[in-house]
Amino acid sequence: MFRNQYDTDVTTWSPAGRLFQVEYAMEAVKQGSAAIGLRSKTHVVLASVNKSNSDLSSHQRKIFKIDDHIGVAIAGLTADGRVLSRYLRSECINHSFTYEAPLPVGRLVVQLADKAQVCTQRSWKRPYGVGLLVAGLDESGAHLYYNCPSGNYFEYQAFAIGSRSQAAKTYLERKFENFPAASREDLIKDALFAIKETLQGEKLTSSICTVAVLGVGEPFCILDQKTIHEYIEALELKEEEAGDQGATMQEDPSSEAAPMEI
């Protein structure tokens, strides 16, 4: 059951200088269904795969609006994601109340990371088991951040988290140079392509994915199913034209990056 004798407690170091409980929390992110994000200079798009546990149940929401200028997509423990979303929302509301101006995204992300970090240093706490892709717009432009349970955060041009996210990452890495100048529509299409990569051959339908957009002059908004359906149909038409050259990427099992560096 146990990997070793140093992993029963978040505050206990292994002799190799690792915190296993924190690493396990990072694993929780990989168990969750995928979420991706990508940005241009003016827009950010978030997308997620929503799988329901049973045919009889509905799926859980994985993309949350935080404020008009910020939204998040989560992977991992959805319950933890909701708690953190509530925290982010209240921070935004408090900031607006005092300054009548939106909270800069980068600062919110640091506050969130600090909150996650505390849980890695208290014996009576457990790290959050959720990764958040934070999309936001402020006076310095559009941003995409990834916050992980360890308390680390990174800014990205495009990123993917959750199960089989490596396939999406590979797709995004292939395309990211076009993103800064991309239009809103192109970003959405690339988001759907990246999501498709994580499905490993399963058909992409509007019922198993959620897409949200945020941009200059456009408050954060989760697209409705009909709109997504239209985008997907447009993609399929395009794919048929292009023939069958877009072979699905295989996940690369050898890339075992040290968790703290993800």
Partner 1 sequence: MANPKQHANWSPYDNNGGTCVAIAGTDYCVIAADTRMSTGYNILTRDYSKICKLADKCVLASSGFQADVKALQKVLSARHLIYQHQHNKQMSCPGMGQLLSNTLYYKRFFPYYAFNVLGGLDAEGKGCVFTYDAVGSYERVGYSTQGSGSSLIMPVLDNQLKSPSPLLLPAKDAVTPLSEAEAVDLVKDVFASAAERDIYTGDRVEIVIVNAAGIRREYVELRKD
Partner 2 sequence: MTSVQGLVASPDADSQRTLYPYVTGTSVVGVKYKDGILLAADTGASYGSTLRYKSVERIKAIGKHSLLGASGEISDFQEILRYLDELIIYDDMWDDGNSLGPKEVHNYLNRVMYNRRNKFNPLWNSLVLGGVKNGEKYLGTVNMIGVHYEDNHVATGFGNHLARPILRDEWKEDMSFEDAVKLLEKCMLVLLYRDRSAINKMQIAKITDEGTTFYPAYSLKTFWGFSSFANPTKGAEGSW
Task: Please give the residue ranges that form the binding site for partner 2 (CB under 8 A).
Answer: 97-101, 104, 106-107, 110, 138-140
Q: Of 207, 218, 221, 233, whose CA–CA distance to 55 is shortest?
A: 207
Beta carbon of residue 39, minimum distance to partner 2 (angstroms, whole number): 17
| Helix 78-99 / helix 105-118 crossing angle, nearest 10 deg | 130
User: Using the rule CB under 8 A, which residue among 51, 89, 175, 229 binds partner 1?
Assistant: 89
Shortest distance (Å) from residue 68 CB to partner 2 = 17
Whole-angstrom distance, CA of residue 166 vs CA of residue 169: 5
Burial of 18 (0-12, 13-18, 19+ CB in 10 A): middle
Q: From CA 43, how far away is CA 62, in angstroms rounded?
A: 20
State yes or no: residue 163 binds partner 1 (CB under 8 A): no
From CA 109, how far away is CA 87, in angstroms rounded?
A: 11
In angstroms, the Cα distances linking 49 to 136, 188, 211 are: 20, 14, 9
Binding status of residue 97 toward partner 1 by CB under 8 A: yes
CB of 201 to partner 1, least distance (A): 33
From the CB of 112, what's the least distance to partner 2, in Å? 14
Name the binder of 51 from partner 1, partner 2, none, CB < 5-8 A by kind: none
Q: Residues of 202-239 as b/e, b for ≥16 C-beta within 10 angstroms?
A: eebebebbbbbbbbeeeebebbeeeebeebbeebeeee
Window contacting partner 1 (CB under 8 A); options: 11-19, 88-96, 186-194, 200-208 = 88-96
Q: What's the min distance (Å) between Cβ of 101 and partner 2?
A: 5
Q: Which of the stretches 89-97, 126-134, 202-210, 233-241 binds partner 1 when contact is defined by CB under 8 A?
A: 89-97
Query: Could you say which of partner 1, partner 2, none residue 124 binds, taking C-beta under 5 to 8 angstroms by partner kind?
Result: none
65 binds, among partner 2, partner 1, none (CB under 5 to 8 A by kind): partner 1
CB of 217 to partner 2, least distance (A): 16
Both tokens assigned to 228:
């997504």
Q: Which is nearer to partner 1, 52 or 90 (CB)?
A: 90
**CB nearer partner 2, residue 7 or residue 138:** 138
Residue placing its CB nearer to partner 1 in the complex, 18 or 65: 65
Q: Closest by alpha carbon to 69, among 51, 95, 48, 32?
A: 95
Closest C-alpha to 152, from 184, 176, 117, 192 = 117
Question: Rounded to the nearest whole angstrom, what is the least distance from the CB of residue 59 to partner 1 in the complex?
Answer: 16
Do the beta carbons of residue 102 and residue 138 sit within 8 Å?
yes
Eight-class DSSP state of 102: P
Q: Which x/- pattern, by CB under 8 A, does the window 47-86 give for partner 1?
A: ------------------x---------------------
Residues in contact with partner 1 by CB under 8 A are 65, 89, 93, 96-97
